[in-house]
Amino acid sequence: MNESAANEMSKIGVHCSDCYHGRYELVTRDEEYPMTDGTRIVLPRVNYLRCEECGFEVLTSESDRYILAFGPPKVDIQALWEEVERKEGGNDSLGSLWGQ
Cα dihedral 81→85→88→93 (10° resolution)? 60
Domain harbouring 17, CATH code: 3.10.20.860
Whole-angstrom CA distances from 80 to 70, 88, 89 are 18, 12, 14
Structural domains counted in the chain: 1
pLDDT of 73 higher than 80: no
Confidence of residue 52 (pLDDT cuts 50, 70, 90): very high
Q: Is residue 67 part of a domain?
A: yes
Q: Is residue 100 part of a domain?
A: no
More confident: 79 or 55: 55
pTM here is 0.59
Structural domain harbouring 91 = 3-95
Q: How far apart are CA 77 and CA 59, in angstroms?
A: 18
> Is residue 43, in this structure, part of any structural domain at all?
yes
Per-residue pLDDT, averaged over 31-44, amounts to: 84
Give a yes or no: residue 24 inside a domain: yes
| Percent of the chain residues past pLDDT 90, beyond the cut | 19
In 9-85 the beta strands, taken as DSSP E runs, fall at 11-15, 23-34, 40-51, 57-59
- Model pLDDT, residue 11: 66
Alpha carbon distances (Å) from 87 to 39, 51, 92:
20, 18, 11
